[in-house]
Homo-oligomer: A and B are copies of this chain.
Amino acid sequence: MNIRELARRSGVSTATVSRALNDRAEVSEATRARIRQLASELGYAPNEPARTLVRRRSDTIGLIWDSGQEAQGLHNPFLLGLLSAVRTALSEADYHLMLLTAPGPDDPDAAHLQAVRRHNLEGVIVLTTPPDDRCLRVLAASAVPCAGIDTAFTGPRTVRVSSDNAAGAEAAVEHLYALGHRRIATITGPLHLPPAAERLAGYQRACARLGLPVPPSYVTEGDFFLDSGVAAGRRLLAVAERPTAIFAAGDQMAVGAMHAAADAGLSVPRDLAVVGFDDIDAAALVRPALSTVAQDQRGLGEAAVAALRGLIDAAPVDTAEPRIIPTRLLIRGSSRPGA
């Protein structure tokens, strides 16, 4: 069932069928309707590879997900929401989505570029965090349109999309301040990761603005995982001027801090208030439920797609400044006195 067969049955040429199905103007309304009707009756589906070949564009974008095998980001449920948002936004823009495979060990950097060329991909969305976004370097150098979420790399045709980590952290601190807390400590992520550094900066800025003291012992580093949060919580609770609230740059670490508090015989939120970041599934499951700064996954995905489309259509887009998506503070039991 190809276009030739459809043309034969419609009594027109393949050129006319193509024009009819692609909504070109040079076809009378009558024949267009007739062809359309017949096509849907016969279940005709145009052959995309053939279209791609002659049009030299595939209407397909690639998605790079994790560069290494079994990267830790993989288990981040945050990724799933992002993936869903990206897919939805892309399908609304009539783009197809191809999941790029992790590069083999032989040619790790060029692999993605090869894939882009092989499939005529028009752009790439990158969901890996630094330093795994190195693969972006080769793509950017080849002027492939790229949109990265929480990536660090920049290039002539790459845009970056990111949550407003600083503002989110500020909102968390302000919330704790409004509850009456004056001794607010923080657990950071690995500070070489931009989101971790930005969240710390937001914490510091809010404290400065509110006139809160931030002794060095109030800032301690974790690795975003549970155990580091427990350890960091223990360190913070051992400080002489014990903090009454903790802002953790990640939910798992926040839960860890709650564990540390429980181990020390402290009650959350009475003796210690805790606010996390990311709104992972578990945040709503623990007791008390964890207050947290939620990222707008849908917003991030849509912004990435919108920026990528601009890049593809050669619209004038600003590739220097990252797109910043607002966050939302979810107040739950871990910072609600009444709970």
User: What chain B residues lie within 8 Å of A285 (beta carbons)?
Assistant: 226, 252, 255, 282, 285-286
Known: A45-B117, A70-B84, A99-B99. 18 other contacts (CB 8 A): A43-B114, A48-B118, A53-B53, A75-B77, A75-B81, A77-B80, A79-B80, A80-B80, A87-B99, A88-B101, A96-B98, A96-B101, A226-B285, A281-B281, A281-B282, A282-B285, A285-B286, A286-B286
A53 with B45, Cβ < 8 A, contacts A80-B74, A226-B284 known: no
Q: Size of chain A's interface in residues, with CB distance under 8 A?
A: 51
Q: Find residues 52-66 in chain A having any chain B CB closer than 8 Å to their own CB.
A: 52-53, 58, 63, 65-66
Q: Mark A263-288, 1 if CB is under 8 A from B, else 0.
A: 00000000000000000111011110
Q: Find residues 280-338 in chain A having any chain B CB closer than 8 Å to their own CB.
A: 280-282, 284-287
A54 to chain B, nearest CB (A): 9
A81 to B66 alpha-carbon distance, docked (Å): 13
Does A110 count as interface, using CB distance less than 8 angstroms? yes
User: What chain B residues lie within 8 Å of A49 (beta carbons)?
Assistant: 48-50, 52-53, 58, 119-120
| Interface pair A114/B281, CB less than 8 Å apart | no
CB nearest to A94 among chain B residues: B101
CB nearest to A256 among chain B residues: B285
Q: Mark A8-28, 1 if CB is under 8 A from B, else 0.
A: 000000000000000000000
A-B contact pairs, 12 of them (CB 8 A): A45-B117, A45-B118, A48-B49, A48-B120, A49-B119, A53-B53, A79-B80, A96-B101, A97-B101, A98-B98, A99-B99, A282-B286
A265 to B97 alpha-carbon distance, docked (Å): 51
| Interface pair B99/A97, CB less than 8 Å apart | yes
- The residue that A43 contacts in the complex, of B52, B110, B252, B284, with Cβ under 8 A, is B110
User: What chain B residues lie within 8 Å of A58 (beta carbons)?
Assistant: 49
Does A108 count as interface, using CB distance less than 8 angstroms? no
Does A196 count as interface, using CB distance less than 8 angstroms? no
Does A210 count as interface, using CB distance less than 8 angstroms? no
Does A172 count as interface, using CB distance less than 8 angstroms? no
